[in-house]
Amino acid sequence: MSDLYVPTTAAAAGTWKLGDLTVNRVGLGAMRLTGSAAFDLGVPSDRERSITVLRRAVELGVNHIDTAAFYFSSLRSANELINRALAPYPDDLVITTKVWPGRNPSGEWWWAAPEQLRGQVEENLRQLGRDHLDVVNLRVPPSHGSGSIAEHFGALAGLRDAGLIRHLGVSNVTPGQLAEAQAIAPVVCVQNSYGLGAPAAEREFLRACGAQGVAFVPFFAIAGAGREAGARGTDDETVLAVARAHGATPAQVRLAWTLHQGPHVLAIPGTGDPAHLAANVAAGALRLSGEEMAALSAVGGEHGAG
C-alpha cells in the first residue's frame, strides 16, 4: 500500500520559522490560481475553483501562501482571490509576497525604482485587505545579475521600520547579494529557483542558508525547465522508479526530494487544481531512503534546474 494514501496534512513535513512566524514546510504558491499561466491575460481561471483550492489548502494545514500583486490574468488577481477566500485570515496564516517587478493593467512589465517600492507594498496591502505584510521578498530582476541590491533593500527596510512589513526576504539572489541585504536588515528567507539537477553552487548556497538559519524556498521545484508553463516532457527513469516504489507521482517525488534537502527548506508548489493540491500536501509525508536520495541527487538533465 502506498505510504501516501494515509490522509495527511501540511504538518507532516514539519515546521520552520520565518522570523517569529511558524509555518508548515509545505505551502502553496498562488501563481497558478489566476489561470493556466499566471502571465497570460487571456485565460482566466474558474473563480470558484480557485477559491476552493485556497480554502481546502487551509483545511489541509497549509499556513504559508506565496503570492504577488503581479500574479493576475485578464479577470483574476491572486491577491484578491486570497482575500475573497480566506479573509478574515486565520491567525497562523503567513502570506509572503514580492516586489520590484510590476505589471501595468495591460500586463506589461515594469521594474520599480527604490522610491516606488512603497507603492508596490501598498498595492499588495489593498488587494489582500491587510494593514501589514507578513513577509516581503525583494525579487531581483534576471538582468540585474550580481549587481548591488542595497538601495532597493534599504527602501524595503525603511518600510519594515514604518510597520508596513513584518519580515524581509530576498529572491533570485546570489550569496553576495544575500550578505549585502543582511548587512542592512535581517533576512528570513531566500527564494531561488532550485530542483533536481541543481548545480553545485546552488546546492552550496542552500546549505549556507541553513547554517545561517535562513529559510530556503525553492520555486519551480516541480516544473523544472517548464518554469511558468509548468512541468513538461518525460521524467528521468530514476524519478519514475522511486515514484513507483512509493505509489507516488514524479511530482511528489520531486517535492519530497526538495524537502529532504534540509529542515530549513520550504516548498511552495503552485496549483489551481484541488486534486493536485492534495497530492502536493501528501508529498510532505513521503520519506525517501538514503539510497533513493543519492540516486535522485545524481539526476541532471533539462528538468532538473527548475
Q: Which residues are catalytic?
A: 71
C-alpha separations of 12 from 42, 61, 138, 273, 283 in Å: 37, 9, 29, 21, 9
Closest by Cα among 178, 170, 172 to 135: 170
CA distance 91 to 303: 37
- Beta strands at 215-216 and 28-29: parallel, antiparallel or unpaired: unpaired
Pairing type for strands 109-111 and 101-103 reads antiparallel
Q: 208: which 3 cell numbers?
A: 549556507
Verify cis geometry, omega within 30 degrees of 0, for the bond prior to 88.
yes
Radius of gyration, CA atoms only, the chain? 18
Q: Give the contacts of 285 (CB within 8 A, at least 6 positions apart).
A: 3, 4, 6, 8, 12, 13
Determine contact, residues 63/118, Cβ cutoff 8 Å: no
Residue 251, CA distances (Å) to 148, 164, 217, 240, 242 in order? 35, 36, 17, 10, 11
